[in-house]
Amino acid sequence: MRSTVRLLRALAPALALALVSGCSSAPKEPIVLVPCEYDLFDPPAVVDRGLTSATVSFPFSVTNPNPVPIRVDYMNLEPTINEGRMGREKCGIAVEVPAGGTRKVEVAYQLSYISAGVGVIDAIVSKQARIEIAGTSVISNASPGHVADPLEHPITIR
């Protein structure tokens, strides 16, 4: 009997702590994610050139207006140069952005010279390159304990 009482006295604080912490880890209210903001912070750079294509790096920032951290899972990008389409590519980036924070990201894009021809020629002749990236982005919740469905939303990066 005495050993049982001693055991209960020894385990009581741990049991109380487990009960209290169990309450705080209960599932939280479901949240609805809102779209992030995307901005080009430097001009794109050619990082590799080939005979028929080049790899272009697009550096941009992602701002998360959500109250929880999010993960940008992937983006479907359709860049244009001087309104000439440069193709379309799905880029998996899987980058986390803190709640209310901003993170810089670089996405490598495989550019075909044939598909980008008109816009590139116009940029060379006019000596001006107006670059715009349109498409969609898929974000998901990166915070344990919060329930949120992934969100696919349109993006425009200028």
pLDDT averaged over the chain?
79
Give the pLDDT mean for 35-62. Answer: 86
Residue 18 located in a structural domain: no
Predicted pLDDT of residue 90: 84
* Owning domain of residue 109: 37-157
- What is the SS3 assignment for 129? coil
pLDDT digit string (tens) for 90-136?
A: 888 889 999 999 999 988 888 777 777 777 777 777 877 777 888 99
Residue 63 located in a structural domain: yes
Residue 87 located in a structural domain: yes
DSSP tag of 148 = -
Residue 7 located in a structural domain: no
Residues 6 or more apart in contact with residue 107 via CB below 8 angstroms: 57, 58, 60, 75, 77, 91, 93
Q: Give the domain CATH number at 68.
A: 2.60.40.1820
On whether the CB atoms of residues 112 and 137 are closer than 8 A, the answer is no
Residue 25 located in a structural domain: no
Residue 21 located in a structural domain: no
Range in 34-43, 56-65, 119-128 the model is least confident about: 119-128
What are the two backbone dihedrals, phi and then psi, of residue 67, each rounded to the nearest 5 degrees? Answer: -80, 0
Count structural domains, the chain. 1
pLDDT, greater one: 4 or 84:
84
- What is the SS3 assignment for 86? coil
Residue 75 located in a structural domain: yes
Q: Residue 125 to residues 15, 54, 119, 122: CA-CA distances in angstroms?
A: 75, 20, 10, 5
Residue 8 located in a structural domain: no
pLDDT, greater one: 27 or 105:
105
Residues 6 or more apart in contact with residue 6 via CB below 8 angstroms: none
CA dihedral 43, 48, 49, 53 (to 10 degrees): -80
Residue 72 pLDDT grade (very low, low, confident, very high; cuts 50, 70, 90): very high
- What is the SS3 assignment for 52? coil
Cα separation, 64 vs 79, in Å, equals 22
